[in-house]
Structure 1
């Protein structure tokens, strides 16, 4: 089994912690919320064994990477800038970039804006959406008694207080609740629709902590995430959501551009993002003309590469082997 090594790299004005394995063409792996490099633990080893140099950074605001204080330092352009700067800092000329959850918009946008640096892209869970996430807070659903979770995340300190009360319980609830093993939500009212948070409760109020973890998730995994977020808090990751409107404005000059490099999309058919972003998935071939596959993994939820590592590894390696 290939060893995973760790080090720090200076890029784009901040210090990045990276986990890496293998030698060969560079593959950058961008995690989402609320995760870390650790979410790519199975891909690092599989890609290394297949002849690639796999690097998974703790993204800006997470883990051992720097966490700037100002909210406006977490825009999509800052995050893309981090990945662009990491490539030469790692001693490479170009890379294939892969992203999951929030890391997917970073990967798609990096390929969109810098095809000279990123020769191919794969997005997990979140499809390519024009102008970042393709929405503003004004577009998000809300009722008198509930609001979309991204709106709940906008007020600094509120979600932090909820999540940091017990990071271990938070991760048990979030990772199980978003997985393909969780019960499907019932009820068709706007207040209980996918992603809605009750105004008199918190994000976790409808996500019970499971007594038993699914087979893909261990107590050791929960220990790792809980320790990281006990140390760092959740503010860095939540600040990504607090730039959604700013991102929409910053990406305006690039609206309508195509992702010109070879691309792959992978998702679980039980991922709530697939439900919410169905229109974006349908439109992807229009704006990603070299889309080489849309892979839906049966029974898989949101945590794609952790829930189904073998299927994801096979899809990524097959995609990589087909590149020039």
Structure 2
């Protein structure tokens, strides 16, 4: 099915004040005359926007018959970008997502008010947390690239200690600092374009033509090589020119401070989740919902090994792999869509009947 375009008539753009913050989200419905068989909300990560699900929305709406809701998360696109990192904690984000679904309205109306959840990158982490904070509202959950890591039972691990254990998270040191958002501020289209091209796989033109055949300007150990960014980056093949300019315009609204706030939340999330390991929610750490993990075999930031033990923490887990890097939604669209479809179809067919 044809992927969404920035001005696609198959979706409506909506805004709503959600718990004090203005959110922008798109909503897609099954084609006219076809019944709505359920509702799903899709969650993006960094540096992405709701449009990152452009290859999946048509399949979910037109083939599976779902009402599809895709927000720009806090800090991104047409949604507010609060400076306080705690506002986009997992707990707050999950509460926002539930209210977004309720604002749009679950279709078809079902007595249990449950909906499906999917996520990628930070969105995958939030999707798994939806299963912790709101298990009574979630029908099933899936994540692309991002494994489920249960709340920590030990002391808080600062980022530097985490990087020692997971050197593939070294880039987060840069993202949690002020380097990225000071480089690409609001309205700075050139630097935002350079940064996005880099993150989506664009390459250093001079390096490609000289000593470095890859020329990639981002690595998981150090982050973005800001000193090498310029307007001659060999463009990423993952986006059309129109799509790239749409991304640039969306990120130029508020710059990169809001999006990088997600990397400043680790201690806030840890403190929020203490009740899962010390309070009355301890049993909820084990996810009982039907769950799908789509592993990207070439993802350097979230390598395959990180999801190897998920079955110990999820009772009903389907784990599959696709040959792709971190941008699996775009790099392995057909495989990702097939796995999501295979996972959701029997669940949709078994969903509760609509309320009378």
TM-score range, shorter chain: 0.7 to 0.9
Q: Counterpart of 2:74?
A: 60
Decide whether aligned partners of structure 1 residues 135 and 80 sit closer, same or farther in structure 2, where only a CA change above 3 A counts: farther
* Conserved 8 A contact 1:71-1:242: yes
Map of 1:297 onto structure 2: 322
Give the structure 1 partner of residue 260 of structure 2.
Answer: 238
- The equivalent residue for 1:221 is 243
**Following the alignment from structure 2 to structure 1, what is the Cα–Cα distance between the partners of residues 292 and 334?**
16
Residues 128-139 of structure 1: pairs in structure 2 closer than 5 A? 128-131=148-151, 136-139=158-161
Q: Which residue of 2 aligns with 1:189?
A: none
Is 1:100 aligned to residue 120 of structure 2?
Answer: yes
Q: Write the deviation string for residues 119-155 of structure 1: whole angstroms up to 9, x where unpaired.
A: 10001111001128x964142337xxxx922122233
> Is this contact kept in 1: 2:13–2:26, CA < 8 A?
yes
How many residues get paired?
302
Query: Corresponding residue for 2:39?
Result: 26
Partner of 2:129: 109
* Structure label with greater radius of gyration: 2
Alpha-carbon distance, 1:221 to partner: 1.6
What's the CA shift string for 1:155-209, capped at 9, x where partnerless?
3x3220224461111111100169xxx97899xxxxxx962228xxx55457897
Contact map agreement 2:91 2:133 (CA 8 A) in 1: no
1:38 maps to which residue? 51
Task: Give the whole-Å Cα distance in 1 for the aligned partners of 2:102 and 2:140.
Answer: 17
Measured after TM superposition, the shift of residue 5 of structure 1 is 1.4
With over 3 angstroms needed to count, the CA separation of the structure-2 counterparts of 1:184 and 1:168, relative to structure 1, is: closer
Offset, 1:13: 2.5
Q: Name which of 123, 131, 135 aligns with 2:143.
A: 123
Q: Verify: 1:286 aligned to 2:306, yes or no.
A: no
Are 2:295 and 1:270 aligned? Answer: no
In structure 2, the residue matched to 1:78 is 92
- From 254, 274, 286, the equivalent of 1:258 is 286
TM-score using structure 1 length? 0.84
- 1:316 has 2:330 as partner: no
Using structure 2 for the length normalisation, give the TM-score: 0.77
Q: Cα distance, 1:94 vs. partner?
A: 1.9
Offset at residue 32 of structure 1 (A):
0.3
CA distance in 2, matches of 1:119, 1:130: 19
Measured at CA, do residues 287 and 205 of structure 1 come closer, stay the same or move farther in structure 2, by a change above 3 Å?
farther
Q: Per the alignment, in what secondary structure is the counterpart of residue 54 of structure 2?
A: helix
